[in-house]
């Protein structure tokens, strides 16, 4: 028996070696082919990706919970140390914000009156869907987030994603129960924006660095560090006027923006279901405003 096995393995061993080497080389070629094909944005590849992420998202959701709990515990301990100062700071901030609130309520009323006088069309209602962040980019290649909500919750590709401080990114892929957010800082992110004071328009271009670039500004645009940048709403994909960040540096021809978003603490984000009546139809974009009773009362359909 052992002899027979010996002769068999003498023949089988080099054969196995050749097969293994062939398998290895073809897998390398396959990887490179995938990389090249990926540039072409194949529908099939995206389908494979969304289906796999969908299948694994419950696992991620469960696994990320204990990590969350630990992080919260650590943060709680850290906060205990600065409880008194924090309280004092918040009290002062609250006083200041109360004054601002009064001012903003008055302005809001005034604005509404002016709109009525001019018979100006108001923007459609924006409905937020709040989802938990169950994954981040996990490496240096991309800047993305995974959310535990997908197309069954009304999330569609292109919708804006906002955190507590402002715009975070846009939906790039949706599965049934999960979706991927392309962050403002990603290489592929392009967001139409507006300088809040000078009203000049531009495009916010991500480049995988922490602060995205502001490009396609008019040559005579006045821009200085500290200017607030908000969404312009151009293209009808994003609601206008959502805060994004402030201009952090202006150097020869390059304007960089520091986002308001606190990237490390994004636990929950809101996806804005924004639907311009007439531009997006209910058939291809089901579950937007029609699904909600708020939308019904506003548009009467």
Partner 1 sequence: MNPSFSYQVNRLLRGSLPFWLTFLLAVMTVIPVRIENMATVTPSVVSISVFYWSLQRPYLMPAPAVFLIGLTTDIMTGGPMGMSSLILLLVHWIASSQRQVFVGKAFIQSWWGFLLVATGMAALSWVIMCLYAFAFVPALPFLVQLALTVLLFPAFAWVFGLLQNSILRHI
Give contact residues for partner 1 (rule: CB under 8 A).
20, 23-24, 27-28, 30-35, 37-39, 45, 48-49, 52-53, 56, 59-60, 63-64, 67-68, 71, 133-144, 146, 172-173, 180, 187, 207-210, 263-267
State the minimum distance, in angstroms, from the CB of residue 267 to partner 1.
7
Nearer to partner 1, 146 or 191 (CB): 146
State the minimum distance, in angstroms, from the CB of residue 103 to partner 1.
34
Single out the residue of 188, 166, 185, 173 nearest to residue 262, CA to CA. Answer: 166
Alpha-carbon distance of 61 to 49, in angstroms, equals: 17
DSSP assignment of 53-84:
HHHHHHHHHHHHHHHHHHHHHHHHHHHHHTHH
Rg of the chain (C-alpha set): 26
Nearer to partner 1, 178 or 280 (CB): 178
Asked whether 185 and 167 are in contact (CB, 8 A), the reply is no
Nearer to partner 1, 14 or 290 (CB): 14
State the minimum distance, in angstroms, from the CB of residue 141 to partner 1.
4
Q: Distances from the Cα of 141 to the Cαs of 30, 125, 181, 239, in angstroms?
A: 20, 36, 14, 29
DSSP assignment of 90-155:
HHHHHHHHHHHHHHHHHHHHHHHHHHHHHTPPPPPPEEEEEEEEEE---SSS--EEEES--GGGT-
State the minimum distance, in angstroms, from the CB of residue 288 to partner 1.
25
Q: Distances from the Cα of 180 to the Cαs of 144, 158, 204, 220, 257, in angstroms?
A: 7, 11, 19, 37, 23
Nearer to partner 1, 125 or 203 (CB): 203
Nearer to partner 1, 90 or 210 (CB): 210
State the minimum distance, in angstroms, from the CB of residue 271 to partner 1.
17
State the minimum distance, in angstroms, from the CB of residue 82 to partner 1.
17
> Three-state DSSP class for 202?
strand
State the minimum distance, in angstroms, from the CB of residue 179 to partner 1.
11
Nearer to partner 1, 51 or 106 (CB): 51
Nearer to partner 1, 24 or 114 (CB): 24
Structure tokens at 23: 């398998």
Nearer to partner 1, 100 or 216 (CB): 216
Structure tokens at 239: 């609601």
State the minimum distance, in angstroms, from the CB of residue 67 to partner 1.
6
């Amino acid at each position: 028996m052992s002899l027979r096995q010996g002769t068999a393995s003498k023949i089988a061993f080099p054969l196995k070696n050749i097969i293994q080497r062939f398998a290895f080389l073809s897998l390398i070629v396959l990887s490179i082919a995938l990389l090249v094909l990926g540039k072409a944005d194949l529908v099939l590849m995206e389908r494979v990706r969304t289906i796999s992420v969908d299948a694994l998202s419950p696992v991620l959701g469960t696994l990320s919970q204990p990590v969350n709990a630990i992080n919260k515990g650590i943060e709680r301990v850290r906060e205990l140390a600065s409880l008194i100062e924090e309280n004092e700071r918040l009290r002062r901030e609250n006083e200041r914000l109360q004054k601002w609130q009064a001012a903003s309520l008055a302005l809001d009323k005034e604005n509404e009156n002016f709109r009525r006088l001019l018979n100006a069309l108001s923007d459609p209602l924006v409905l937020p869907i709040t989802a938990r962040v169950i994954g981040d980019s996990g490496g240096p290649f991309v800047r993305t987030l995974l959310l535990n909500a997908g197309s069954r919750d009304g999330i569609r590709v292109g919708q804006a994603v906002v955190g507590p401080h402002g715009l975070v990114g846009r939906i790039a892929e949706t599965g049934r129960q999960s979706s991927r957010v392309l962050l403002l800082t990603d290489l592929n992110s392009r967001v139409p924006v507006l300088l809040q004071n000078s009203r000049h328009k531009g495009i916010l271009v991500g480049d995988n660095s922490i602060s995205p670039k502001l490009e396609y500004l008019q040559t005579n645009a006045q821009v200085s560090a500290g200017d607030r940048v908000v969404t312009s709403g151009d293209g009808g994909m994003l609601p206008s006027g959502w805060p994004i960040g402030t201009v952090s540096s202006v150097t020869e021809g390059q304007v960089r923006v520091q986002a308001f978003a606190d990237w490390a603490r994004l636990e929950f984000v809101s996806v804005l279901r924004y639907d311009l009546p007439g531009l997006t139809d209910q058939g291809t974009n089901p579950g937007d405003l029609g699904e909600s009773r708020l939308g019904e009362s506003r548009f009467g359909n």
